[in-house]
Chain A
């Protein structure tokens, strides 16, 4: 019970985000097709100096840290030499484009949309970013999975212990299992 009370915000988020993703057509009609557009936040000259042998990851981390934006991100170098950093911020994802030739830096952010925010939350997982907050989040996701499996098994046991609910419980269980099996065989 206490684990369920602790984890209920996660369950609410996963339920709400699944509803949103299941009705993507509604949001497409509202916002249009294609990816969420970026909007310009600021443009400036970045006069930071990078170590001589700095790789892309070091450069991106330095730039992000300079603006207090350090966190999970990906980085690529475009054909024209510009360095593009996608900062996967949950609330406000940003794209930073740094041009080494003239040291200009453009910072753009994704237009805020509630459905996109929930979808980002739903898809956030994994242990590979190297950031403590992300690793801790991944642990919490694993905890939710383990808890859900435990609730299924403990729920079955608790139901079986209550003799008065066995018959209707069995009908519910078999009804759900039968429907699920039908989908498994046909879809």
Chain B
């Protein structure tokens, strides 16, 4: 197999195997780029985004150490029957701790009001635009669990795949003698526009 053949196959099979991610990132960028349109569409429904699932009294200390705070959040989630999801724990204010649990299909928010010794559990109403943007924004290696981490590895793989896709595409274009002049024009005008944006924005 020649390098040109290898390059063509890499371009093709890489594209096919990462196709769901490419399509997802493209489609999910639409609600990011036009979020005001989607927000207005949803606001017209006049439905609350969060629905109270439960509320109870809870008297417990809140740790200051970030790792201990994360364990504290995991314990609150477990008590609420939520396990194996991605989550974050934030000190909303000196008297409030928020735990945000997230999966592709469902998001839940726990709020612990320290001074009132009160814990609320709220579920977020499903929205397709949030489903897409949530999938788009998912990544990072801060979460525990094999599946969570493997998704982040796939995000890396998609990025490397895109870089390889660009490189192999450029090599393939260079091999097409008849397209060199117009291709070079496209590359140079694209680069010039990009640099212009970088300076002007």
Using a CB–CB distance below 8 Å, which chain A residues touch chain B?
A: 1-16, 18-19, 21-25, 71-72, 89-91, 121, 124-126, 128, 133-134, 136-138, 140-142, 144-145, 148-149, 151-152, 155-156, 159, 162, 165, 168-169, 172-173, 175-177, 179-180, 183-184, 186-187
Q: Check A5/B29 contact, CB under 8 A, given A137-B201, A184-B104, A187-B151.
A: no
Nearest residue, chain B, Cβ from A22 = B139
CB-defined contacts of A176 to chain B, threshold 8 Å: 16-21
Q: How far is the CA of A5 from the CA of B193 in the complex (A)?
A: 12
Q: Is B58 in the interface zone, CB < 8 Å from A?
A: no
Interface contact B147-A187, CB-CB below 8 Å: yes
- A8 contacts which of B33, B36, B160, B170 (Cβ < 8 Å)? B170
Q: How far is the CA of A148 from the CA of B200 in the complex (A)?
A: 25
Q: How far is the CA of A16 from the CA of B18 in the complex (A)?
A: 17
CB distance from B17 to the nearest CB of A (A): 4
Interface contact A169-B13, CB-CB below 8 Å: yes
Interface contact B201-A126, CB-CB below 8 Å: no
Interface contact A159-B16, CB-CB below 8 Å: yes
Interface contact A155-B15, CB-CB below 8 Å: yes
CB-defined contacts of A5 to chain B, threshold 8 Å: 169-170, 173, 183, 186-187, 190
CB-defined contacts of A156 to chain B, threshold 8 Å: 16, 19
Nearest residue, chain B, Cβ from A23 = B141
Nearest residue, chain A, Cβ from B148 = A187
Interface contact A148-B26, CB-CB below 8 Å: yes
Q: Check A12/B154 contact, CB under 8 A, given A5-B173, A126-B35, A134-B201.
A: no
- B32 contacts which of A125, A151, A168, A177 (Cβ < 8 Å)? A125
